[in-house]
A and B are shown apart, each in its own frame.
Chain A
Amino acid sequence: MSASDRSRPESALAVFERPRSLALLIARKDKADRLAAAIRASFGLDLPPPGRWVTGAQVDATWIQPGGWLLEGEPSAPGAFRALVAAAAEGLGAAVDQSSGRSVIRLAGAPARAVLATFCRLDLHPRAFGPGSAAMTRVAHVVCGVRLADATPSFDLIVASTYARWLIEELLEASARHGVRFEPALKPYRSAMPASGPM
Chain B
Amino acid sequence: MQLIPCPFCGARPEDEFHYRGDASVQRPLPDAGEQAFYDYVYTRSNPRGWHSEWWSHYAGCGQWLKVERNTMTHEVRGAAGPPATLPRTLA
Contact = CB atoms under 8 A, between A and B. Distances in A.
A interface bracket (residues with beta carbon within 8 Å of B): 20 to 34
Which among B13, B58, B89, B91 has the highest number of chain A CB atoms within 10 Å?
B91
A144 B59 CA distance: 7
A121 B10 CA distance: 13
B90 A65 contact: no
Chief secondary structure at chain A's binding surface: mixed
Contacts of B12: 121, 137
A36 B61 contact: no
Chief secondary structure at chain B's binding surface: loop
Contacts of A32: 88-90
Contacts of A144: 59
A119 B8 CA distance: 22
Interface of B: 8-10, 12-13, 15-16, 58-63, 81, 84-85, 87-91
Interface of A: 27, 29-30, 32-33, 36, 47, 49-51, 64-68, 121, 135-138, 143-144
